A and B are shown apart, each in its own frame.
Chain A
């Protein structure tokens, strides 16, 4: 928790986190048909889709935490970028899970990627929930390792300064 407080004591990281959260949440809700823009803006949760919505919010929330923390870690502590890839990977996997072929991007996917797009779309549709859970697991693991890394590296930096 102290690592999260440390990172987000800088308002630039709060702003980055909010930008990531909103920038991912809005398109994902649109793709997954929780919000509609036509004929007018409306939000609607069909019965039985509550779990999918909760997973999207958790996933986007974690991405909003993990990505700025990794940027902080790399920029401020000059550490490796390996852990960053976990956050990006988790976000991308989770985002793709919502791109169901029958959602508002279906025709764009089929037109652009042809039969490969259709096959990928079928997979993403059939395994939407497990894919999102996997993305959340990757993001949670990245959050844990990033927090540990910040904690450890801050202590090392503090020791170096004291010496």
Chain B
């Protein structure tokens, strides 16, 4: 079974009142009410956009593995014969992905993956920053040495934000060294940009699924039935979606 390596390798740090006689002018009223209304409408619009961007109709049902092409994604975590597959869409610089990795994933691994009911595949959405792309590419360099999941865990364990240095090339190599990878092979792979196109293709596939944010999951059942879970949601939600599929 896969063990999660937890290490910290880097030190880095109104309505108008009836008392209108007291008002100076109509224009004056709108001047101060407008910013309030604009602020509320702006925030509400963002929330509405968030909901409207979650559109299942964009899913193309003709593709493989449910409706998602995971052929260039991560190796499968768990039994390849498991009846249910979770496809995790994530960015190594995404704080919500990190929260899910630490809070929910361990329980899923223990209760569903280790018991053979579910397997999991990770698909990159490297969109948050320039280091997202190289971090994802580095995981495939680690896969060449059969250390994909260990490297994946190391990245989330060391995540400190977006493009603030924790995932620069130097640190990516340092994580690989700490995992005991062959550094010549790893450095050549990373420096040559071997897997950048693979990450970009995965990002395209992930974006085309049709959800609104980076942290998202597709649950695919034995009859190819599928459900989307958006956000770093707790284990109970996954359990409720997965159990009827088993």
Q: From the candidates A88, A103, A118, name the one contacting B213 in the complex (CB within 8 A).
A: A103
Task: Point out residues on B near A: beta carbons under 8 Å.
Answer: 14-15, 17, 19, 22-24, 28-29, 31-33, 35-36, 39-40, 42-44, 46-47, 49-51, 53-54, 91, 93-97, 99-100, 102-103, 127-129, 161-164, 207, 211-215, 227-234, 237, 240-241
The answer to whether B91 touches A75 (Cβ under 8 A) is no
Q: Tell me the smallest distance from the CB of B16 to a CB of chain A, in Å.
A: 8
The answer to whether A102 touches B213 (Cβ under 8 A) is yes
Given contact pairs A84-B32, A108-B50, A100 touches B17 in the complex (Cβ within 8 A):
no
Q: Which of A63-100 contact B (CB under 8 A)?
A: 67, 70-71, 74-76, 78, 81, 84-85, 88, 91-92, 95, 99-100
29 A–B pairs (Cβ distance < 8 Å), ordered by A: A24-B39, A28-B43, A30-B50, A36-B231, A36-B237, A38-B54, A38-B229, A38-B230, A39-B227, A71-B32, A74-B28, A76-B17, A88-B36, A99-B46, A102-B94, A102-B96, A102-B214, A103-B50, A103-B96, A103-B213, A104-B54, A104-B230, A105-B212, A107-B212, A107-B213, A108-B46, A121-B128, A126-B161, A126-B164
The answer to whether A27 touches B47 (Cβ under 8 A) is yes
Q: From the candidates A38, A108, A125, name the one contacting B228 in the complex (CB within 8 A).
A: A38
Q: Tell me the smallest distance from the CB of A22 to a CB of chain B, in Å.
A: 10
B residues in contact with A161, CB < 8 Å? none
Given contact pairs A27-B46, A46-B103, A74-B32, A104 touches B231 in the complex (Cβ within 8 A):
yes
- Looking at chain A's contact residues, the main secondary structure is helix
Number of chain A residues close to chain B: CB under 8 A: 54
Q: Tell me the smallest distance from the CB of B25 to a CB of chain A, in Å.
A: 11
Q: Tell me the smallest distance from the CB of A129 to a CB of chain B, in Å.
A: 11
B residues in contact with A24, CB < 8 Å? 39-40, 43
CA gap between A113 and B43 in the complex, in Å: 16
A residues in contact with B46, CB < 8 Å? 27, 31, 99, 105, 108
Interface: A6 (CB within 8 A): no
> Which of A15, A26, A101 has the most B CB atoms < 10 Å from its CB?
A101
A residues in contact with B240, CB < 8 Å? 39
The answer to whether A101 touches B214 (Cβ under 8 A) is yes
A residues in contact with B127, CB < 8 Å? 101, 106-107, 110, 118
Beta-carbon contacts of A127-139 to B below 8 Å, as 1s and 0s? 0000000000000
CA gap between A42 and B230 in the complex, in Å: 12
Task: Point out residues on A near B: beta carbons under 8 Å.
Answer: 12, 15-16, 19-20, 23-24, 26-28, 30-31, 33, 36-40, 42, 44, 46-49, 67, 70-71, 74-76, 78, 81, 84-85, 88, 91-92, 95, 99-108, 110, 118, 121-122, 125-126
A residues in contact with B102, CB < 8 Å? 47
The answer to whether B232 touches A33 (Cβ under 8 A) is yes
Q: From the candidates A12, A31, A122, name the one contacting B14 in the complex (CB within 8 A).
A: A12
CA gap between A15 and B148 in the complex, in Å: 55
Residue of B nearest to A125 (CB): B162
CA gap between A71 and B30 in the complex, in Å: 11
Q: Tell me the smallest distance from the CB of A31 to a CB of chain B, in Å.
A: 6
The answer to whether A102 touches B95 (Cβ under 8 A) is yes
The answer to whether B229 touches A39 (Cβ under 8 A) is yes
